[in-house]
Amino acid sequence: MCHDMRVKVEYLGFIKNMLNKRVEEFELKEGTALRELLGKLSDSYGKPFKREVFERGQEDLKYGFVVTVNGVLIGQLDGVKTRLKDGDQVILMSLMSGG
């Protein structure tokens, strides 16, 4: 049986400025993969997000961006296939912070 779960997404650096927001919460089906959440974000935010961060169908984020789930880099988990759980905190950030 599928339950809904809440996942908090925090944006840092370039992404925060691009989207003009810092934190969002999403209600997803239990066990949703990170890739599906990123796909949902790219649908919501359109071209700039797809060009800079992630595009549906891709197996990884664009160069220069990292994602952590509960403070762990997704490279140490299962990449964009990482399954999310209720209460997870996802952080999207750019590696380069320009100034």
CATH number reported for the structural domain that contains residue 74 in this entry = 3.10.20.30
Q: Which is nearest to 49 in space by CA: 25, 18, 23, 20?
A: 18
Residues 71, 90 contacting (CB under 8 angstroms): no
- If one counts the domains in the chain, the total is 1
Residue 82 lies in a domain: yes
Residue 99 in any domain: the answer is: no
72 in any annotated domain: yes
Q: Which domain holds residue 55?
A: 4-94
Edge to edge, the sheet with strand 89-94 lists 23-29, 4-12, 89-94, 65-69, 72-73
The 10s digit of each residue's pLDDT in 42-75 is 999 999 999 888 888 888 888 888 999 999 999 9
Q: Which helix (H) or strand (E) holds 69?
A: strand 65-69
> Would 87 be classed as within a structural domain?
yes
* CA gap 17, 83 in Å, rounded: 27
- Global pTM reads 0.89
In a domain, 85, yes or no: yes
Q: Pick 6 or 51 by higher pLDDT.
A: 6
